[in-house]
Amino acid sequence: MASFQSFEPPPREVKPSSGAVKIVEKQAQRRIFKIIVIGDSNVGKTCLTYRFCSGKFPDKTEATIGVDFREKSIDVDGEHIKLQLWDTAGQERFRKSMVQHYYRNVHAVVFVFDVTKMSSFEDMPQWIEECDRHNLNKQLPRILVGNKCDVKDKIAVNTNLAQKFADSHNMPLFETSAKDDEKANHVDAIFMTLAHKLKNAKPMMSPHLARFTPGERPEVINVRGSPHHRGLQTANPQSSENKDNCAC
């Protein structure tokens, strides 16, 4: 199991004469946003993040242990920003020791349920409570995602019900499928919607943390280790808020 080191190490020393100074400064200026993806086990968090980051549905997934970390650089209205996606474990036994780390320095939250499994939707209030317990700012952008819409004959959570819940928590709802290639742009829409909201919000990650390159970043945890586990998914905007914010 992966272990965490300190989240906020001291800034690295940069030699003033080094030709790398400009590059380092440029990296430090790029804004980085941490997005946590939470929900019951097996709802498709890994597949959604994999779909977004690599444009594919993973061949094979295993239960996430602790957290998997993926990131993608995107351009939003001419600004280059980086989204760090934290694909968290849905199973309680694989979360315990790391939960407190998920909720540090969070900029946005994606709540995921499986549209074919009512219990995963019914558990949504518990995930929201967990965010509250960890003092997540209620003003942070949040999105509700119903995944596995491709399994049409097994839909258990209808759109009206999910929309009501989303409205009552001031969240946009996206219904999507990480698996369906035709819905890949919907998955992109989830994260691009967040990216737009975040870009227009106030700053973010502490500058010294933003200076870390991927290999050095202390919060990077890949407990699965396989490239097959790196990826993301698609979404279908349902509410008017989604349409307003959709980048697609």
Ligand X SMILES: Nc1nc2c(ncn2[C@@H]2O[C@H](COP(=O)(O)OP(=O)(O)OP(=O)(O)O)[C@@H](O)[C@H]2O)c(=O)[nH]1
Note the residues at the interface with ligand X (CB under 6 A): 41-47, 61, 63-64, 89-91, 147-148, 150-151, 177-179
Nearer to ligand X, 177 or 238 (CB): 177
Q: Identify the helix (H) or strand (E) that includes residue 111.
A: strand 108-114
Letter for the amino acid at 65? I
Residues 6+ apart with CB under 8 A from 81: 30, 31, 32, 33, 73, 74, 75, 195, 198, 199
Collapse the DSSP code of 12 into the 3-class scheme (helix H, G, I; strand E, B; otherwise coil) and give the result: coil
Nearer to ligand X, 82 or 148 (CB): 148
Residue 67 beta carbon to ligand X: minimum distance, rounded to whole angstroms: 10
Residue 203 beta carbon to ligand X: minimum distance, rounded to whole angstroms: 30
Nearer to ligand X, 90 or 211 (CB): 90
Residue 180 beta carbon to ligand X: minimum distance, rounded to whole angstroms: 7
Q: How far is CA 219 from CA 84, 110, 208, 209, in A?
A: 11, 19, 13, 10
Nearer to ligand X, 107 or 148 (CB): 148
Residue 80 beta carbon to ligand X: minimum distance, rounded to whole angstroms: 28
DSSP summary character for residue 223? S
